[in-house]
Amino acid sequence: MSDTPSYIIKIPARRVEWPTVILTIAIYGGFLALTFWWQSLPVWVVALAGGWLIAWQGSLQHEVIHGHPTGNQRINNAIGSIPLSLWLPYEIYRESHLEHHLDEHLTDPIEDPESSYFTRTAWERLGRANFLHAGIRPCSGG
Ligand SMILES: [Zn+2]
């Protein structure tokens, strides 16, 4: 019996998932290229491609947290920790996401730490002044 939780994929140490590595190169290479040539591109292309690449990296970060694309989690974390979006630091996302999977209430709208659902009582407790606060709590349970 393995000690590895079911939500972490245990890839043999010498095995590498090359399609994910190629995707990683496409994301970071694309972002570097976009950053280098942004002035020679129409702004809508930069916005669209930048949004695409950042969303793609979010998906990659999720895979990395779950043990892809190598059997070495340090390498995987290094792949996921580059802060393209400047929104949610990888380490905070990693910790809260793993907590989300540890939670016996996974996908429970009230108990899951990744849920943004509010009961009527909790919503009313926020009041008008805290309305915006509700939208910027990506990883807190409170
Ligand atoms: Zn997950």
Indicate if 50 and 79 belong to the same structural domain: yes
Q: What is the mean pLDDT of residues 44-72?
A: 95
Kindly indicate the confidence band of residue 140, based on its pLDDT and cuts at 50, 70 and 90.
very low
Indicate if 46 and 115 belong to the same structural domain: no
* pTM score, whole prediction: 0.74
Number of folded domains that form the chain: 2
For residue 99, report the distance from its CA to the centre of ligand 1, in Å. 10
Indicate if 11 and 40 belong to the same structural domain: yes
Amino acid at 122: A
For residue 100, report the distance from its CA to the centre of ligand 1, in Å. 8
For residue 5, report the distance from its CA to the centre of ligand 1, in Å. 12
**Which domain range does residue 57 map to?**
1-102
Q: Which is nearest to 51 in space by CA: 84, 73, 80?
A: 84
For residue 97, report the distance from its CA to the centre of ligand 1, in Å. 6
Kindly indicate the confidence band of residue 138, based on its pLDDT and cuts at 50, 70 and 90.
very low
Higher pLDDT pick, 25 / 115: 25
pLDDT at 109: 82
C-beta of residue 35 within 8 angstroms of C-beta of residue 41? no
Average pLDDT, the chain: 84
Indicate if 97 and 135 belong to the same structural domain: no
Q: How far apart are CA 132 and CA 62, in angstroms?
A: 26
For residue 131, report the distance from its CA to the centre of ligand 1, in Å. 28
C-beta of residue 92 within 8 angstroms of C-beta of residue 108? no
Strand, helix or coil for residue 16: strand
Indicate if 77 and 112 belong to the same structural domain: no
What does the DSSP 8-state code read for residue 107?
Answer: T
Q: How far apart are CA 135 and CA 142, in angstroms?
A: 12
Assess whether pLDDT exceeds 60 at residue 10: yes
For residue 66, report the distance from its CA to the centre of ligand 1, in Å. 6
For residue 82, report the distance from its CA to the centre of ligand 1, in Å. 19
C-beta of residue 92 within 8 angstroms of C-beta of residue 101? no
Indicate if 43 and 73 belong to the same structural domain: yes
Q: How far apart are CA 21 and CA 24, in angstroms?
A: 5
Q: What is the mean pLDDT of residues 114-127?
A: 81
